[in-house]
Structure 1
Amino acid sequence: MSFAEQLHRLQAFLDADDLHEEALDYMAAHGYLTALAICTEQVPAREWIDALFAEPPHYRSDAERAEIEETLQQLKAHIGRQLASDDDMELPCELDLGEEPDDADLRGWCIGFMEGVFLREGAWFENAEDEVSELLLPIMVGSGLFEDQPEFAEMASNPDLMDEMIEQIPEILTALFLLFNAPEEKPALLKPRHH
């Protein structure tokens, strides 16, 4: 089975209605795996797979379980290769929250990414907290998880600013990846700003 076919089956599995309501769907899982692929602290596969599903799914067979878990690990490795390449990563969804942000694929992706960050929050912020916080901002805004905080509510009420931030997400992922995995190559995005 090709990787594309495996992904197709994974997507159908994650987007089915019978998973636990807190389980991540395919878009969120992609964001989640992207965060895991960026973070330098490796989370054991068992831990992140269990966290992704919230509770063990009802697999039809051990073979199906093995296939889904294997495809998740392959997708994580694939995302890691994309991040390490010279091109900005392509998200599996439009970089747009649209008219109904809560229903947007991008919102799900950003929520999943933040779930991945929360899994090892300490590792994300221990070395370059300010830079990481600044880089994560568009993803945090996109996730809608922080809208009860005044500064996020203010940004969310400015559609042009939101669009501008969200369009930066692919290059932000590259910058975060470099920050964690090649700190000696500071991307241009992080050069000190002259006030």
Structure 2
Amino acid sequence: MSFAEQLTRLQGFLDADDLHEEALDYMATHGYLTALSICPEQVPSREWIDALFAEPPHYRSDAEREDIEATLQQLKEHIARHMAGDEEPEIPCDLDLGDDPDDSELRGWCIGFMEGVFLRESIWFENAEDEVSELLLPIMVGSGLFDDQPEFADIASDRDLTDSMIEQIPELLTAMFLLFNSPDEKPALLKPRHH
């Protein structure tokens, strides 16, 4: 089965209604795995998979569980390779919150990204808190998770400002990746593996 077919299956699984309401859907999962790919500390896969689903899904079989978890791992590696490459990181939805931000795919992606940050929040902010906060701001705005804070509510009410921030997200991902994985040394995933 091709990676594209596996992803289609994964998407169907993550977007189904029978997952726990706190589980991340496919778009949020992509954001979440992007954050994990940027984070300077590797989060153990068991931990991030369990956090993604909030509670263990009702798999039809062990084989299905293995398939879904393996595809999640592959998607994470695919995103990590992109992050380490020269191309702009891909976000699998329009960089637009649309007329109803709560229903937009981008909002889901940003929420997932922030969930990934929350798994290791102290690591994200320990060395360059101001820079990271600034780089994360458009994703935080896009997520809507912080709209009860006055400064975020102000930004959210200014559509042009919100749109211009959101359009920067791919560049900001690259900037964060470089900040954490300094450009003078190649990221670990490009180094030869020693068994």
- Normalization by structure 2: what TM-score? 0.93
Q: Who is 2:181 aligned against?
A: 181
The SS at the match of 1:51 is helix
Q: How far is the alpha carbon of 1:181 from its aligned partner?
A: 0.8
Q: Who is 1:147 aligned against?
A: 147
1:131 aligns with 2:134: no
Q: Who is 2:103 aligned against?
A: 103
Query: In structure 1, how many angstroms separate the alpha carbons of the residues matched to 2:90 and 2:41?
Result: 23
Q: How far is the alpha carbon of 1:87 from its aligned partner?
A: 1.3
After superposition, what is the alpha-carbon deviation per residue over 1:62-81, rounded to whole angstroms, capped at 9, x for unaligned? 00000000000000000001
Q: Who is 1:169 aligned against?
A: 169
Q: How far is the alpha carbon of 1:53 from its aligned partner?
A: 0.2
Segments of 5+ residues of structure 1 without an aligned counterpart are 186-195
After superposition, what is the alpha-carbon deviation per residue over 1:31-56, rounded to whole angstroms, capped at 9, x for unaligned? 00000000011110000000000000
Q: Who is 2:82 aligned against?
A: 82
Query: In structure 1, how many angstroms separate the alpha carbons of the residues matched to 2:41 and 2:25?
Result: 24
Query: In structure 1, how many angstroms separate the alpha carbons of the residues matched to 2:101 and 2:28?
Result: 14
Q: Percent identity?
A: 81
Q: Who is 1:50 aligned against?
A: 50
Query: In structure 2, how many angstroms separate the alpha carbons of the residues matched to 1:90 and 1:52?
Result: 20
Q: How far is the alpha carbon of 1:129 from its aligned partner?
A: 0.4
After superposition, what is the alpha-carbon deviation per residue over 1:106-157, rounded to whole angstroms, capped at 9, x for unaligned? 0000000000000000110000000000000000000000001111000001
Q: How far is the alpha carbon of 1:182 from its aligned partner?
A: 1.5
Q: Who is 1:9 aligned against?
A: 9
Q: How far is the alpha carbon of 1:183 from its aligned partner?
A: 5.4
Query: In structure 2, how many angstroms separate the alpha carbons of the residues matched to 1:155 and 1:21?
Result: 28
2:53 partner letter: F
1:16 partner letter: A
Segments of 5+ residues of structure 2 without an aligned counterpart are 186-195
Query: In structure 2, how many angstroms separate the alpha carbons of the residues matched to 1:25 and 1:132?
Result: 26
Q: How far is the alpha carbon of 1:90 from its aligned partner?
A: 1.5
Query: In structure 2, how many angstroms separate the alpha carbons of the residues matched to 1:38 and 1:70?
Result: 20
Query: In structure 2, how many angstroms separate the alpha carbons of the residues matched to 1:129 and 1:88?
Result: 24
The SS at the match of 1:178 is helix
Aligned Cα RMSD in Å? 0.9
1:53 partner letter: F
Q: 1:92 to 1:85 in 2, by over 3 A?
A: same
- Normalization by structure 1: what TM-score? 0.93
Q: Who is 1:68 aligned against?
A: 68
